[in-house]
Structure 1
Amino acid sequence: MIKYKSLTTLLAATLLFIVYRSILPVKIIGVHRPGETLAVVIVKNFPLTRHGKISWWKDHQQQLQEMNGFINSPENHIILFLQTEYKKDSGTDHDSDLLCFKDMSDAANCVSKDNRPLLIWHYPDGRTEYITENIFQRFLRHL
Protein backbone atom coordinates (compact mmCIF):
# COMPACT_ATOMS: atom_id res chain seq x y z
CA MET A 1 0.00 0.00 0.00
CA ILE A 2 2.84 2.41 0.83
CA LYS A 3 4.58 1.62 -2.47
CA TYR A 4 1.35 2.37 -4.33
CA LYS A 5 0.99 5.77 -2.61
CA SER A 6 4.64 6.62 -3.28
CA LEU A 7 4.33 5.69 -6.94
CA THR A 8 1.11 7.68 -7.29
CA THR A 9 2.70 10.71 -5.62
CA LEU A 10 5.76 10.50 -7.88
CA LEU A 11 3.60 10.17 -10.99
CA ALA A 12 1.42 13.13 -9.94
CA ALA A 13 4.48 15.28 -9.21
CA THR A 14 6.00 14.41 -12.58
CA LEU A 15 2.76 15.22 -14.38
CA LEU A 16 2.46 18.56 -12.55
CA PHE A 17 6.06 19.43 -13.45
CA ILE A 18 5.44 18.67 -17.13
CA VAL A 19 2.24 20.73 -17.19
CA TYR A 20 3.97 23.59 -15.36
CA ARG A 21 6.93 23.59 -17.77
CA SER A 22 4.68 23.43 -20.83
CA ILE A 23 2.79 26.60 -19.89
CA LEU A 24 5.90 28.68 -19.15
CA PRO A 25 6.80 30.90 -22.11
CA VAL A 26 10.31 30.68 -23.57
CA LYS A 27 12.34 33.76 -22.69
CA ILE A 28 15.21 34.88 -24.89
CA ILE A 29 17.90 36.25 -22.59
CA GLY A 30 20.47 37.13 -25.24
CA VAL A 31 21.66 36.55 -28.79
CA HIS A 32 25.34 36.65 -29.74
CA ARG A 33 27.54 36.09 -32.75
CA PRO A 34 30.91 34.85 -31.48
CA GLY A 35 32.02 33.76 -34.95
CA GLU A 36 31.22 34.29 -38.62
CA THR A 37 29.29 31.03 -38.94
CA LEU A 38 27.89 30.72 -35.40
CA ALA A 39 24.99 32.33 -33.56
CA VAL A 40 24.34 31.62 -29.87
CA VAL A 41 20.88 32.14 -28.37
CA ILE A 42 20.62 32.17 -24.57
CA VAL A 43 17.15 31.04 -23.47
CA LYS A 44 15.15 30.24 -20.38
CA ASN A 45 12.23 27.77 -20.10
CA PHE A 46 12.98 26.03 -23.40
CA PRO A 47 10.56 23.20 -24.31
CA LEU A 48 11.36 19.76 -22.90
CA THR A 49 10.66 17.57 -25.93
CA ARG A 50 12.46 17.33 -29.27
CA HIS A 51 9.25 18.15 -31.11
CA GLY A 52 8.61 21.15 -28.84
CA LYS A 53 12.11 22.55 -29.35
CA ILE A 54 12.03 22.26 -33.14
CA SER A 55 8.46 23.59 -33.33
CA TRP A 56 9.39 26.56 -31.17
CA TRP A 57 12.31 27.34 -33.48
CA LYS A 58 10.19 27.09 -36.62
CA ASP A 59 7.51 29.32 -35.07
CA HIS A 60 9.97 31.97 -33.81
CA GLN A 61 12.83 32.01 -36.32
CA GLN A 62 11.31 34.94 -38.24
CA GLN A 63 11.02 36.96 -35.01
CA LEU A 64 14.66 36.19 -34.16
CA GLN A 65 15.70 37.10 -37.71
CA GLU A 66 13.99 40.50 -37.40
CA MET A 67 15.72 41.17 -34.07
CA ASN A 68 19.13 39.82 -35.18
CA GLY A 69 19.68 39.78 -38.93
CA PHE A 70 22.54 37.30 -38.76
CA ILE A 71 20.43 34.40 -37.40
CA ASN A 72 19.30 33.12 -40.80
CA SER A 73 21.98 34.72 -42.96
CA PRO A 74 23.58 32.48 -45.63
CA GLU A 75 26.95 32.73 -43.86
CA ASN A 76 25.52 31.47 -40.56
CA HIS A 77 25.73 27.69 -40.49
CA ILE A 78 25.26 26.91 -36.79
CA ILE A 79 22.68 28.16 -34.30
CA LEU A 80 23.37 27.01 -30.76
CA PHE A 81 20.73 27.35 -28.06
CA LEU A 82 21.99 27.38 -24.47
CA GLN A 83 19.67 27.31 -21.48
CA THR A 84 21.67 29.10 -18.82
CA GLU A 85 22.36 32.37 -17.04
CA TYR A 86 25.28 34.76 -17.53
CA LYS A 87 28.24 34.29 -15.20
CA LYS A 88 31.48 36.06 -14.46
CA ASP A 89 34.66 34.25 -15.48
CA SER A 90 36.80 33.94 -12.38
CA GLY A 91 39.85 32.92 -14.41
CA THR A 92 40.26 29.53 -12.72
CA ASP A 93 40.31 26.07 -14.27
CA HIS A 94 36.79 25.56 -12.93
CA ASP A 95 35.56 28.19 -15.41
CA SER A 96 37.54 26.88 -18.38
CA ASP A 97 34.42 25.46 -20.01
CA LEU A 98 32.64 28.83 -20.13
CA LEU A 99 31.80 30.55 -23.41
CA CYS A 100 32.45 34.29 -23.07
CA PHE A 101 31.10 37.01 -25.34
CA LYS A 102 33.25 39.98 -26.28
CA ASP A 103 30.20 41.99 -27.37
CA MET A 104 29.13 42.48 -23.73
CA SER A 105 30.73 45.11 -21.52
CA ASP A 106 29.32 43.59 -18.32
CA ALA A 107 31.69 41.48 -16.19
CA ALA A 108 29.13 38.66 -16.24
CA ASN A 109 29.53 37.96 -19.97
CA CYS A 110 30.07 34.19 -19.94
CA VAL A 111 27.74 31.18 -20.06
CA SER A 112 28.13 27.51 -19.33
CA LYS A 113 28.12 25.25 -22.39
CA ASP A 114 26.57 22.34 -20.48
CA ASN A 115 22.88 22.78 -21.19
CA ARG A 116 22.48 22.69 -24.99
CA PRO A 117 18.82 21.96 -25.68
CA LEU A 118 19.06 22.60 -29.43
CA LEU A 119 21.74 22.85 -32.08
CA ILE A 120 20.80 23.70 -35.67
CA TRP A 121 23.18 22.98 -38.54
CA HIS A 122 22.52 24.63 -41.91
CA TYR A 123 24.55 22.83 -44.57
CA PRO A 124 25.67 24.56 -47.79
CA ASP A 125 23.60 22.11 -49.86
CA GLY A 126 20.41 23.38 -48.17
CA ARG A 127 19.90 20.60 -45.63
CA THR A 128 19.13 21.45 -42.02
CA GLU A 129 19.90 19.14 -39.12
CA TYR A 130 18.44 19.50 -35.62
CA ILE A 131 20.38 18.06 -32.70
CA THR A 132 18.53 18.05 -29.40
CA GLU A 133 19.50 17.16 -25.88
CA ASN A 134 17.15 16.15 -23.13
CA ILE A 135 17.49 16.13 -19.36
CA PHE A 136 18.38 12.42 -19.28
CA GLN A 137 21.30 12.86 -21.70
CA ARG A 138 22.60 15.74 -19.59
CA PHE A 139 22.32 13.62 -16.44
CA LEU A 140 24.14 10.66 -18.01
CA ARG A 141 26.95 12.90 -19.28
CA HIS A 142 27.73 13.98 -15.71
CA LEU A 143 27.95 10.45 -14.29
Structure 2
Amino acid sequence: MTIKKLGWMILIFVLGYSLFLLLRPVEIIDVHQDGRWSRVVVKHFPITRKGKIDWWEQNKANLKEKYDVPKIDSHGYFNVSFLDIGSGYRVDRMVDQDSYLLCFEDMKVDANCIEKNKVFEVVKGRNGGLQFR
Protein backbone atom coordinates (compact mmCIF):
# COMPACT_ATOMS: atom_id res chain seq x y z
CA MET A 1 0.00 0.00 0.00
CA THR A 2 1.39 3.36 -0.95
CA ILE A 3 1.70 6.32 1.39
CA LYS A 4 -0.82 8.21 -0.74
CA LYS A 5 -3.48 5.48 -0.39
CA LEU A 6 -2.85 5.24 3.35
CA GLY A 7 -3.23 9.01 3.66
CA TRP A 8 -6.57 8.92 1.83
CA MET A 9 -7.80 6.04 4.00
CA ILE A 10 -6.90 7.92 7.17
CA LEU A 11 -8.58 11.09 5.88
CA ILE A 12 -11.78 9.20 4.98
CA PHE A 13 -11.79 7.50 8.38
CA VAL A 14 -11.31 10.79 10.25
CA LEU A 15 -14.04 12.53 8.23
CA GLY A 16 -16.43 9.60 8.68
CA TYR A 17 -15.82 9.42 12.41
CA SER A 18 -16.24 13.20 12.75
CA LEU A 19 -19.54 13.02 10.87
CA PHE A 20 -20.67 10.17 13.13
CA LEU A 21 -19.86 12.25 16.24
CA LEU A 22 -21.72 15.29 14.90
CA LEU A 23 -24.85 13.38 13.87
CA ARG A 24 -25.40 11.27 17.00
CA PRO A 25 -28.75 12.03 18.60
CA VAL A 26 -28.80 13.72 21.99
CA GLU A 27 -29.66 11.26 24.74
CA ILE A 28 -31.41 12.58 27.85
CA ILE A 29 -30.20 10.51 30.78
CA ASP A 30 -32.04 12.20 33.64
CA VAL A 31 -33.79 15.39 34.73
CA HIS A 32 -33.41 16.97 38.18
CA GLN A 33 -35.56 19.91 39.25
CA ASP A 34 -35.56 22.29 42.18
CA GLY A 35 -37.98 25.20 41.88
CA ARG A 36 -37.31 27.09 38.66
CA TRP A 37 -33.96 25.30 38.26
CA SER A 38 -33.89 22.32 35.91
CA ARG A 39 -30.77 20.27 35.31
CA VAL A 40 -30.90 17.93 32.34
CA VAL A 41 -28.18 15.26 32.24
CA VAL A 42 -27.32 14.40 28.63
CA LYS A 43 -25.03 12.45 26.33
CA HIS A 44 -23.91 13.57 22.88
CA PHE A 45 -25.00 17.21 23.14
CA PRO A 46 -24.21 19.34 20.05
CA ILE A 47 -20.77 20.88 20.02
CA THR A 48 -21.40 24.25 18.40
CA ARG A 49 -23.38 27.14 19.88
CA LYS A 50 -25.66 27.16 16.84
CA GLY A 51 -26.19 23.40 17.16
CA LYS A 52 -27.10 23.77 20.84
CA ILE A 53 -29.59 26.58 20.20
CA ASP A 54 -31.10 24.73 17.23
CA TRP A 55 -31.46 21.58 19.37
CA TRP A 56 -33.21 23.62 22.10
CA GLU A 57 -35.62 25.18 19.58
CA GLN A 58 -36.43 21.79 18.04
CA ASN A 59 -36.86 19.98 21.37
CA LYS A 60 -38.30 22.52 23.82
CA ALA A 61 -41.91 21.34 23.29
CA ASN A 62 -40.89 17.71 23.88
CA LEU A 63 -38.92 18.69 27.00
CA LYS A 64 -41.99 20.47 28.37
CA GLU A 65 -44.36 17.64 27.56
CA LYS A 66 -42.20 14.74 28.67
CA TYR A 67 -40.18 16.23 31.57
CA ASP A 68 -42.02 19.47 32.49
CA VAL A 69 -38.89 21.45 31.59
CA PRO A 70 -38.60 24.35 32.00
CA LYS A 71 -40.26 24.91 35.36
CA ILE A 72 -41.46 28.51 35.22
CA ASP A 73 -41.75 30.37 38.53
CA SER A 74 -44.46 32.86 39.50
CA HIS A 75 -42.47 35.70 37.89
CA GLY A 76 -42.07 33.85 34.58
CA TYR A 77 -38.37 33.05 35.16
CA PHE A 78 -36.61 29.75 34.61
CA ASN A 79 -33.13 28.23 34.32
CA VAL A 80 -32.35 25.05 32.39
CA SER A 81 -28.81 23.68 32.54
CA PHE A 82 -27.64 20.82 30.34
CA LEU A 83 -24.87 18.77 31.92
CA ASP A 84 -22.77 16.12 30.21
CA ILE A 85 -22.98 12.73 31.96
CA GLY A 86 -19.26 12.16 31.44
CA SER A 87 -18.22 8.91 33.11
CA GLY A 88 -21.60 8.52 34.83
CA TYR A 89 -22.98 9.00 38.30
CA ARG A 90 -20.46 8.79 41.16
CA VAL A 91 -20.34 8.70 44.92
CA ASP A 92 -19.26 11.88 46.73
CA ARG A 93 -16.61 10.65 49.18
CA MET A 94 -16.75 14.00 51.02
CA VAL A 95 -13.11 14.81 50.32
CA ASP A 96 -11.62 17.90 48.66
CA GLN A 97 -10.91 15.95 45.47
CA ASP A 98 -14.69 15.57 44.96
CA SER A 99 -15.37 19.32 44.99
CA TYR A 100 -15.84 19.19 41.20
CA LEU A 101 -18.96 17.02 41.64
CA LEU A 102 -22.56 18.20 41.48
CA CYS A 103 -24.85 16.02 43.60
CA PHE A 104 -28.60 15.58 43.24
CA GLU A 105 -30.51 15.31 46.50
CA ASP A 106 -33.57 13.91 44.71
CA MET A 107 -31.68 10.67 44.04
CA LYS A 108 -31.81 8.29 47.00
CA VAL A 109 -28.71 6.29 46.04
CA ASP A 110 -25.07 6.73 46.99
CA ALA A 111 -23.95 7.40 43.41
CA ASN A 112 -25.95 10.61 42.90
CA CYS A 113 -23.23 12.99 41.66
CA ILE A 114 -21.74 13.89 38.28
CA GLU A 115 -18.83 16.07 37.26
CA LYS A 116 -19.77 19.76 36.90
CA ASN A 117 -19.62 19.83 33.12
CA LYS A 118 -22.28 22.27 31.94
CA VAL A 119 -22.52 22.19 28.15
CA PHE A 120 -25.41 24.64 27.69
CA GLU A 121 -27.80 26.80 29.66
CA VAL A 122 -31.09 28.49 28.79
CA VAL A 123 -32.20 31.27 31.14
CA LYS A 124 -35.21 33.53 31.21
CA GLY A 125 -34.73 36.14 33.89
CA ARG A 126 -35.48 39.72 34.76
CA ASN A 127 -34.52 41.09 31.36
CA GLY A 128 -37.47 39.18 29.87
CA GLY A 129 -35.58 37.61 26.98
CA LEU A 130 -33.97 34.22 26.66
CA GLN A 131 -30.25 33.95 27.28
CA PHE A 132 -28.23 31.08 25.86
CA ARG A 133 -24.98 30.39 27.66
| TM class, shorter-length | 0.7 to 0.9
Match for residue 21 of structure 2?
Answer: 21
- Contact 1:82/1:117 (CA < 8 Å) preserved in 2? yes
TM-score, scaled relative to structure 2: 0.80
Percentage of matched positions with identical amino acids: 33
Larger Rg belongs to: 2
Return closer, same or farther for 1:13/1:65 CA change in 2, 3 Å cut-off. Answer: same
- Contact 2:77/2:123 (CA < 8 Å) preserved in 1? no
Match for residue 32 of structure 2?
Answer: 32
Match for residue 81 of structure 1?
Answer: 82
Which segments of 5 or more consecutive residues in structure 1 lack a partner in the other structure? 132-143
Structure 1 residue 6 displacement after superposition? 8.8
Query: Which secondary structure state, in structure 2, belongs to the residue aligned with residue 56 of structure 1?
Result: helix
Equivalenced residue count is 128
Question: Partners in 2 of 1:128 and 1:63 — Cα distance?
Answer: 18
- Contact 2:35/2:71 (CA < 8 Å) preserved in 1? no
Which segments of 5 or more consecutive residues in structure 2 lack a partner in the other structure? none
TM-score, scaled relative to structure 1: 0.75
Amino acid at match of 1:120: V
Q: What's the C-alpha RMSD, in Å, of the aligned pairs? A: 2.4
Higher strand share: 2
